[in-house]
Structure 1
Amino acid sequence: MSGRILIVDNVATNRIVLRAAMQAAQYTVDACTTPAQARASIAINRPDLILVNLSGVAAEETGFCTALKADPDTGGIAIIATGVPDTARARLAALDAGADEVLARPTHDALLLARIRSLLRARAATDELFLRDSTSRALGFHDSQSPFAAAGRVTLIAAPPSPWHDLTAVLNRGLDQPVQTRDACAALRDCDAADCPDLFIIPVASRESDTGALFSLVSDLRSRPETRLSCLLVVVPANAPDMAALFLDLGADDVVLHDALPAEMILRARTLVQRKQLHDRLRRNLRDGMQAAVTDPLTGLFNRRYVDHHLTRMSAQCTAAGRALAVMMIDIDHFKAINDRYGHAAGDRVLVAIAQRLRDNLRAVDLVARIGGEEFLIAMPRTTAEQAQGAANRLRRLINQTPFDLGEADGPTRVTISVGVALSGAAGPDQQDMVRMCDLADAALYRAKSGGRDRVAMETSIV
């Protein structure tokens, strides 16, 4: 089963017809007569979507919709109002009451099912992002500040000269910002992921217009990496339910009729912009949380958690290419003495500066990580023993030849490092091989420190 649907309708015939259609589409269906029964049903079996009859626009039914949306526990349940009179004012009243969509009776089956699929897709995407966000928060990776709601970027796609001046004027006034108008080619050609509109609005002139090109446009916008996360609102003729259903199944987030009141156009557009910005914020929280999980907060280098997984992948690539992987363990000499003499703030400045020098003097393909208090790891793929030793000595000189600024009170201070190097052989990318290789590099580091520090020691055995 692909979802649970609750039907709320006081007309038995309507409940029977809707239940049969929903079960044929493989949904789990519950049905009841009144909002009071619906609340009891929701408490037992929470639905993914509710079909509620608002034909009488009774205060009880509209209040039921409004209360569901206002309650944080049920606000995410999608609501489709059925039986609403087929007028612009009646549709707007139902949307204002809390419905996500409004369908007049007799209900067009293809459009109803397309609406359900579209709303459930949107709900599933939001729920997944909220789940990931809650996990990040539980791990401590979140921004405690309230998100700033920026104005949404909206583009209307129409071929010049655009006949949609009235629609553009309505959107400009209602959204309190200029709406950009572009033709389809420009919208596809000039968009980049960093500055892509939150919402594309695509008007269809009539049933007789070239809908094939517009169907392709919706599919294109939904599939391209730059635009796939943007919301799509299609304006369709009032007498074209099949067209509306197809646009929804091709990836449009919403469809609105030509005869919709300006307030409905604005409401739908604003809702989509808000959804897009919410999803963006949740994705950003997830990305930042994942970055924080594998990054050392002081130096910005990767941490041991990242190293444990990435080394195995690097080794697999080197093995496939028949080349060696070099691993260096680097330790700051007498780092405790720096902290004791100059303070921990000065020690932190040394760590940050060393991390910067290491990062700036290695290849993009090399891995640089901080794996302990004053210990760093470098992994260099496709590297010979001579190249690894040369790189280690070069990095050692970069550290010891240029003093570190610890602040005006202390002046420049010389810091040295010791380096242990180990190389992989033809062994496969087994995790145990990587553990042993790091152990060998650690042993070489110990020999470098025991031999007087400020030097490089090579592990000659092959992993």
Structure 2
Amino acid sequence: MSGRILIADDVATNRIALKAKLSVAHYDVLPAACGADAIARAEAEHPDLILASARMADMDGADLIRAIRSRPALADLPVVLILPGDTAAARIAALRAGADDAITKPVGDRMLLARLRGLLRRHRGTRELRINAGTSGTPGLAEAATGFDSRGRVAVIAADQDRALCLRTRLKPHCGHELTTIGTHDPVGALASGLRADVFVVMIGADKAGDGPRRMAELRAAPHAGHSRIVAVMPRETETLAAALLDTGADDVVTAGLDPREISLRLGTQVRQKLSADRLRDRLRDDLRASVIDPLTGLHNRRYALPCLDRMVEAAMRTHRPLAVMVADLDYFKRVNDTLGHAAGDHVLRKVAGLLGENLREHDLIARIGGEEFLIALPETNRAQARRMAGRLCRLVRRSGIEVPGRNEPVQITVSIGVTLARSDPEGTRPSVDMLLGQADRALYASKADGRNTVTFAARTAA
């Protein structure tokens, strides 16, 4: 099935006709005979989209949308209202009520299916973002249908700058977003030159209407438009062209002569949904970053470090260049926690982590892999170079004298380091990460046994 669509209409013949159209397109159709029935079935069967009559005996479209949006599990469910007559006032009222789209009877099959495909694509994309960002079904984190007033950026693109300016002038009294214009025959080139927007409004010229779908596909594929919304403005109502534009990248299609209030409402819907998706992507990036970053020191954590070290070993074997692997551990750190408290201990850890990281090369790896233990990996570093670097790090920590808030005297701390080398093997044997860490750990224990604040090499390096 292409998706599950709930049809809400209190006229049985309307439900039957729509079900026939959608079933042919391989949609799973759920019928509802009234608004209350639609809400109950939506909660029980979780459709991907609701296609509802704007006028039902028990509630109108606005009431249905409010009821749907008030339920956290359904709050971002696309709702399309079917209007009995083609009037600007009715479409504007439906969009103001929070409908994702408003279409009028008679409904052309091709246009209907193209609009549904576009809405379903966006809904599935948003749903995947919510799942990955951990906000699926979480009250307060669903995409708000109304009342979201963040200011977005809308760029009107037309081959003729005067046409773009004319549309901007018409929209400005009704659109609360930043409006810019650009005259160009090449929208993709405009993006390459640095044009950025939350929504691109692309005006299709009457003489170039046949090129519209191709240009729309090119614009959608452009790297800087990947997450932006695109609204196509056609010179006149053409179902075939509108459907083609929707299927090749447009998020909405309007005609140039449409009431500017309706165009502005449609742009507002696109801006709101785009900014909502941006917030989800930001949260996902933050969560991914948090999963590989140690929150105390800001260094990478063990989860990041071990796969990274594995790739570094692979590169060392491939290029036949040495890789130095170190494990560094703060000496007598328990005394700091026991005598000064854990807050002071955390402060010392942060300062030592910063000191170590600041004195490594950009392509070196440093990560906190235990309580007070750090992994350091140095590509293209032989034994002599590794000894010099490890000795330098020991001296830097020993001489640091870490100032701790609330304490008059600086804390003196030292570090012990164990080192091993991963080198190319004539027989092609590849040392594992576990092997390298085991050797570096044993060398670290030897440094501790020798009095701490010292560097020890593994008795047998991985080769």
Please give the range of the TM-score, normalised by the shorter of the 2 chains. 0.7 to 0.9
Segment drifting more, 254-263 vs 420-429:
420-429
**Does structure 1 residue 190 correspond to structure 2 residue 193?**
yes
**Contact 2:161-2:182 at 8 Å conserved across structures:** no
**Contact 2:230-2:250 at 8 Å conserved across structures:** yes
Q: Label 1:386 to 1:43 Cα distance change in 2 as closer, same or farther (>3 A).
A: same
**Contact 1:156-1:202 at 8 Å conserved across structures:** yes
Tell me by how many angstroms 1:266 deviates. 1.8
Which amino acid in the other structure matches residue 447 of structure 1? A
Q: Label 1:149 to 1:52 Cα distance change in 2 as closer, same or farther (>3 A).
A: closer
Q: Distance in 1 between matches of 2:32 and 2:405?
A: 74
Which amino acid in the other structure matches residue 387 of structure 2? Q
Tell me by how many angstroms 1:149 deviates. 6.2
Q: Label 1:405 to 1:82 Cα distance change in 2 as closer, same or farther (>3 A).
A: same
Tell me by how many angstroms 1:216 deviates. 4.0
Q: Which of the residues 224, 227, 240 maps onto 2:225?
A: 227
Q: Label 1:266 to 1:210 Cα distance change in 2 as closer, same or farther (>3 A).
A: same
Q: Label 1:415 to 1:66 Cα distance change in 2 as closer, same or farther (>3 A).
A: closer
The 5-angstrom pairing of residues 22-421 of structure 1 reads: 22-54=22-54, 60-62=59-61, 63-134=63-134, 150-183=150-183, 184=187, 187-191=190-194, 196-205=196-205, 208-211=206-209, 213-407=211-405, 409-421=407-419
Question: Aligned residue for 2:142?
Answer: none
Which amino acid in the other structure matches residue 188 of structure 1? L
Q: Could you say what secondary structure the match of 2:413 adopts?
A: coil
Question: Aligned residue for 2:422?
Answer: 424
Query: In percent, how many aligned pairs have the same letter?
Result: 40
TM-score when normalising by structure 2: 0.87
Segment drifting more, 61-70 vs 221-230:
61-70
Which whole-Å deviations, capped at 9, do the CAs of 1:62-93 have from their partners, x for residues lacking one? 23344223433323222222353122222223
Segment drifting more, 212-221 vs 222-231:
212-221
Q: Distance in 2 between matches of 1:82 and 1:238?
A: 21
Which amino acid in the other structure matches residue 187 of structure 1? A
Q: Label 1:65 to 1:403 Cα distance change in 2 as closer, same or farther (>3 A).
A: closer
Tell me by how many angstroms 1:384 deviates. 2.6
Question: Aligned residue for 2:450?
Answer: 451
Which amino acid in the other structure matches residue 131 of structure 2? L
Q: Distance in 2 between matches of 1:186 and 1:115?
A: 28
Q: Distance in 2 between matches of 1:456 and 1:213?
A: 69
Tell me by how many angstroms 1:413 deviates. 4.6
Tell me by how many angstroms 1:330 deviates. 0.5
Question: Aligned residue for 2:21?
Answer: 21
Q: Distance in 2 between matches of 1:209 and 1:97?
A: 36
Q: Distance in 2 between matches of 1:277 and 1:119?
A: 16
Question: Aligned residue for 1:141?
Answer: none
Question: Aligned residue for 2:145?
Answer: none
Which amino acid in the other structure matches residue 288 of structure 2? M
Tell me by how many angstroms 1:454 deviates. 1.7
Q: Could you say what secondary structure the match of 2:159 adopts?
A: coil
TM-score when normalising by structure 1: 0.87
Tell me by how many angstroms 1:245 deviates. 1.2
Question: Aligned residue for 1:145?
Answer: none
Q: Distance in 2 between matches of 1:134 and 1:32?
A: 31
**Contact 2:100-2:269 at 8 Å conserved across structures:** no
User: Unaligned stretches of 5+ in structure 2?
Assistant: 139-147
Q: Label 1:220 to 1:117 Cα distance change in 2 as closer, same or farther (>3 A).
A: same
**Contact 1:332-1:375 at 8 Å conserved across structures:** yes
Tell me by how many angstroms 1:416 deviates. 2.2
**Contact 1:232-1:252 at 8 Å conserved across structures:** yes
Tell me by how many angstroms 1:444 deviates. 0.2
Q: Could you say what secondary structure the match of 1:252 adopts?
A: coil
Q: Distance in 2 between matches of 1:150 and 1:11?
A: 39
Q: Distance in 2 between matches of 1:375 and 1:66?
A: 55
Q: Label 1:382 to 1:25 Cα distance change in 2 as closer, same or farther (>3 A).
A: farther
Q: Distance in 1 between matches of 2:291 and 2:149?
A: 27
**Contact 2:158-2:204 at 8 Å conserved across structures:** no
Question: Aligned residue for 1:434?
Answer: 433
Which whole-Å deviations, capped at 9, do the CAs of 1:6-50 have from their partners, x for residues lacking one? 223344444333223212222112234333443443344222122
User: Unaligned stretches of 5+ in structure 1?
Assistant: 139-147
Q: Distance in 1 between matches of 2:12 and 2:194?
A: 51
Tell me by how many angstroms 1:223 deviates. 1.9
Which whole-Å deviations, capped at 9, do the CAs of 1:116-140 have from their partners, x for residues lacking one? 11101111111112222226999xx
Which whole-Å deviations, capped at 9, do the CAs of 1:396-450 have from their partners, x for residues lacking one? 23323443333584244543211101122447668xx212221210110111121
Q: Could you say what secondary structure the match of 1:420 adopts?
A: strand
Q: Distance in 1 between matches of 2:177 and 2:113?
A: 34
Which whole-Å deviations, capped at 9, do the CAs of 1:361-395 have from their partners, x for residues lacking one? 22222211112222111122343333322321222
Q: Could you say what secondary structure the match of 2:18 adopts?
A: helix
Q: Label 1:444 to 1:347 Cα distance change in 2 as closer, same or farther (>3 A).
A: same
Which amino acid in the other structure matches residue 289 of structure 2? Q
